Structure 1
Amino acid sequence: MSVFFQGFVNFTRDYIVNYIDIDYSLWMTWFLAPLLISFLLPVVIALFLYFSAFVLYIYKLHWTNIRKTLQTGDMWDTVRKFVCALWDAHGWIWHGYEVRGLENVPDTGSALIIYYHGAIPIDLYYFLAKSICVKNRLIHTVADHFLFKVPGFSIIAECMNVIPGTIQTCSNILKEGNVLAISPGGVYEAQFGHTYNLLWKRRLGFAKVALEAKVPIIPMFTQNLREAFRTVSIGKRFFLKMYAMFKMPLAPVYGGFPVKMVTHLGKPIPYDGNLTPEQLQAKVAAAIEDLIQKNQRLPGNILFALFERIPFFRKKTA
């Protein structure tokens, strides 16, 4: 009898242990899945960028034969439009992406676009694609130096006219009649501007460029940009020290949520030679902050941003 009882106890114990293990595994999978997905989704954007770079490399390798077929002098024109069409489609499907105020970007002539930098500047990619697809206008952009060390980025930079950017090179680009986009906050703002606050410090380079080139400035802000992708705010002091040491974005990024995204372009701020760089910086910052106040739900909320895909829930703008 004791042998039977001991066997029953062992069977019951093993059954319960196995059941608890299975149940615990299922619970952990259910609990951690959203967390894993939110950190993996940014990888999709990286893969899409590398796919774009791959297409550009193939195109460049076969340019000699392609040129004979297309009979065009601009090597990048055709493939640039193809890649931009892919990004435009991605923005429309995943974020219901729109641009309001695109008419403020001139069809000809120069202008300087100053924009708020999100955790990932996905809005800039969509905006550049929209500008080419709708206005057939290539917008030059300034990127942080570390990006040019990333494998595969150089060919994207060559195709889309992305530059590291000094005051003189930026001024020359504008004087040649081009449109140039700059984010004064850059990587620092991307990593630590968690609440849509502008983190420009004393960066006056863009103001000096605009004054030297005598061009208008177009303020730009993208609604729900921080709800699409966010940086981890825990351990801010540590990541601030890491940024100070390496000048690279080392704070983890998560997100990729299909929130509604709308890029708002404000009225151009005309050139005024009487303004100092400090005064012009303050004027542009005020214009972008006004776009944020009018168009962004504060504090940002991912759930509300998802609901804004439905017109009924969208924030009423002034």
Structure 2
Amino acid sequence: MQEQLSDGPGAPDPEAVTPENATGDALATGDIAVSGAAHDPSTAPAPTGGAAGASASAAASTDVLRDLGFDDDPAPRRRRRVQRTDWRLGGTAVRRWDAIVLAIALISLGIGAFGSALISSIWTSPWSGLVSTTALWVGMLFAVVYAFSRGRPAGLLKLRPVDLLFGVMLGLLLRLLQGWVTDAGHQPLPSIATLDGSIPPTWFLTEALPGGLIAPVVEEFFFRTVLLVVVYTLLRRPAGRFAAALAAVLVSTATFILMHAVDGSLPLAEALPLGALGLTCALLVMLTGRIWSAVIVHIVYNTTMLVIVAAGTILR
């Protein structure tokens, strides 16, 4: 009776494949390696769900594709920063020449001028002129050193052969202009007041070297490097390049003239050539982006005057 019931049409077939016995057979024979691995706790994937599971699956798929050489989502490469070659176009270094540098430059110039005037008024000595001028230079140099400690504007210190050509030619032309304005052709050559008519040995140390070399370098680096570049940099973005350049040229030139007239003894006939010198040097820096042409113009301008004075003393 029991056999009839078990063999009847509604009885389950012992040979039928069910999920339970299929899994068991696979485990017994080892034919389904994945199923076997699924029962290994060390290799079973951690249960995930929701957005975390989708993210993990996507990351795993990306790793597989990358291993096969199909990197469909490469990491964005960082753009290389283009190095500036001209400070007039901006740059990190010249942006550091800001209003703080301008304030320090003007304050140091004022302190230097005050110290120079004080020394000249309380010390009567053949060396008082050189010492008082040195006090003024120290004030200028402090601003120059501070500015370059913050950054070096791109291309400003480059020297090219054309700078030497422009410097010599323009320096000589400016000296001819000064002679024409002051009517030097109808006057005797300037000379040094000496008893025996010879050039004193100390003149080269107290007048020739400071006036012919040191003064042009210091003044150009202060007025046409620090002052001009700072004013241009501060105004370039809000006012545009042309307006910024015009303002920088005018400010540096006006300050240059005022510094030479600080004691009130600069006549108009000397102020005009001095203004032409400052304007020419400022335009050279703005047009070329380099300082050395302006330095050479100033050296030639001052040196030619020293040569004229020496010749006037010898020929007197």
Query: What is the TM-score when the length of structure 1 is the normalising length?
Result: 0.29
Higher helix share: 2
More strand by share: 1
TM-score (norm 2): 0.29
Compare CA radii of gyration and give the structure with the larger one.
Answer: 2
